[in-house]
Amino acid sequence: MNDAIPRILVNRAKDKLARGETVYSMTVRLVRTVDIASIASTAGFDSIYIDLEHSSVSLEDAGQICMACNALGVTPLVRVPGLDAPLIARVMDSGAMGIILPGVQSADEARALVRAVKHVPVGERSLAGAAPQLNYRAFPPEQVIRELDSASLVVAMIESRAGLEAVEEIAAVDGVDMLLVGANDLSVELGVAGQMDHPSVHEAYLRVIAACTASGTAIGIGGLGGWPDLIEKYLGLGASYVSTGNDISFLLGAATAKRRQFEDRA
């Protein structure tokens, strides 16, 4: 492809990760409207990820939120329920700037993820034509493929013993941009459910960090929104993406705090 063509599409979160800067993200599980994009932007988040694994958010709603995020400079990522290439293609064709795949357990799964996100010849995704990420502007197909593939963020989640055992191979897969540690499920797998400060969870994080550092892959922190000291620790060790929490916990936390504020005055 012609690399002399100026770059048009920018994934701000991906660019920050490439520079070693910290990306802060919030998860969407509850809100179905585009307002969440404005809230994320006003709150200063670099990215959101829409969770299609643990919510009933529809593909249509996810696409609308993605488009609103793109207009506001907030990078929209979508966590899909599993390795489903047709669904991944539809999510990307709806405006997402990246895919998060839960429970990756092998390098083969990671390679299949890359093939699902990237277009031919790098991957196996077909070209849909005018892309929402490019505001449906007409460009030569070669340029559209280059823009979409270079801007897309491919994220593999490590949240099982099998994934942890294969983490070095997964991190080295060409096209995988980031490994995101799913600390909740991983702690369950390790027999220390919810104990995020347990030595076994810490050792798992260190192994992921070492694997990513060796391969030049970004490191994401997940499941530690209630553990700011641990987030600070892993940022200091090389992590650069923080999943801070989801809209349910944010709303419930603020509502609970406000109610207690008035209780204390009574």
The set of catalytic residues is 54
Tokens (6 digits) for 209: 């960090």
Distance between CA 136 and CA 34 in Å, rounded? 19
Distance between CA 40 and CA 159 in Å, rounded? 26
DSSP letter (8 states) at residue 30: S
Distance between CA 220 and CA 244 in Å, rounded? 11
- 203 to 94, 157, 159, 160, 234: CA distances (angstroms): 38, 17, 13, 13, 11
Cβ 57 vs Cβ 79: under 8 Å: no
